[in-house]
């Protein structure tokens, strides 16, 4: 049982994911996963027998949720921050997923230079890549004085271009890249994707309420895909303050 897990460190807790009996280790005052990661796990399509890699995995939330939600065969998470990667690795142990989920600590920019960070057979052969990258450019917004939070929220350790380039290097022809980001950066996102032969194919805007502007965008791109993009119906988060829409309840698995 989750409550019997003995590998928690000071300040850590186990949060119930409401999926397959899984939990996730998180730390008070540190970066914790949000709705964007959960929505990305519902948007990404990992098919039977496929392998997926999550770039900037943080607490490991996306590979763990994808393992619970999809018939994929193997999931990897790459995280630059040692403390976060350690928590993610222990969450894998917590849920008994050692055979299906692997957490790797390292800089995703290493993926652009060689194959040491991940198994060589993943390069050019991965079926799906996901990422919930930092949303803000390093020179924009107020940097959190906590370096870990700054890395999670600002492009301190990697840029949008780095994430797209790493995804492109991993994906096979026809492989799929899934990302959640902010709508105001869509022009940059599309430019960065197309520069590395990732063709945007599916886009969904996320609105907090039906009468509010979108504050997130989910996007799927295909390695060496043909130029054609489908804009799906928007996802509305709240029916009224404090009450999710049915689609959000379904994604969360409530």
Which tens digit of pLDDT belongs to each residue from 78-122? 999 999 999 999 999 999 999 999 999 999 999 988 778 999 999
Domains in the chain (CATH in brackets) are 33-134+160-252 (3.40.50.150)
Question: What does each C-alpha distance from 14 to 17, 34, 59, 101, 149 come to in angstroms?
Answer: 9, 15, 11, 18, 20
Q: Are strands 12-16 and 23-27 parallel, antiparallel or unpaired?
A: antiparallel
- pLDDT of 152 over the 50 cut: no
242: left (phi over 0), alpha (psi -120 to 50) or beta: left
Closest CA to 222 of 55, 97, 44, 102: 44
- pLDDT of 53 over the 80 cut: yes
Q: Would you say the pTM of this structure is higher than 0.75?
A: yes
pLDDT per residue as tens digits for the range 201-254: 999 999 999 999 999 999 999 999 999 999 999 999 999 999 999 999 988 876
Tokens for 217? 């965008």
- pLDDT of 150 over the 50 cut: no
Query: Under a CB-based contact definition with an 8 Å cutoff, are residues 220 and 178 in contact?
Result: yes
Q: What is the pLDDT of residue 31?
A: 73
pLDDT per residue as tens digits for the range 173-188: 999 999 999 999 999 9
29: exposed, middle or buried (Cβ count in 10 Å: 0-12, 13-18, 19+): exposed
Distance CA 158, CA 170 (A): 17
């Amino acid at each position: 049982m989750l409550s019997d897990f003995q590998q928690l460190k000071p300040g850590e807790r186990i949060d119930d994911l409401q999926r397959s009996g899984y939990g996730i280790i998180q730390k008070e005052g540190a970066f914790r996963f949000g709705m964007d990661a959960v929505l990305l796990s519902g948007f990404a399509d990992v098919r039977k027998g496929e392998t997926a890699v999550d770039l900037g995995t943080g607490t490991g939330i996306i590979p763990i949720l994808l393992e619970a939600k999809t018939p994929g065969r193997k999931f990897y998470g790459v995280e630059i921050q040692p403390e976060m990667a350690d928590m993610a690795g222990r969450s894998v142990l917590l849920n008994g997923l050692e055979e299906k989920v692997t957490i790797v600590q390292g800089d995703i920019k290493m993926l652009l230079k060689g194959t040491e960070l991940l198994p060589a057979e993943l390069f050019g052969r991965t079926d799906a890549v996901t990422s919930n990258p930092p949303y803000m450019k390093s020179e924009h917004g107020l940097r959190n004085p906590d370096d870990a939070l700054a890395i999670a929220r600002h492009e301190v350790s990697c840029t949008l271009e780095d994430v797209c380039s790493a995804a492109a290097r991993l994906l096979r022809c026809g492989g799929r890249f899934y990302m959640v980001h902010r709508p105001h950066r869509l022009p940059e996102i599309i430019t960065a994707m197309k520069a590395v032969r990732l063709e945007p194919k599916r886009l969904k805007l996320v609105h907090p309420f039906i009468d509010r502007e979108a504050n997130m965008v989910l996007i799927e791109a295909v390695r060496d895909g043909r130029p054609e993009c489908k804009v799906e119906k928007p996802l509305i988060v709240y029916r009224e303050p404090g009450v999710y829409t049915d689609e959000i309840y379904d994604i969360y698995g409530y």
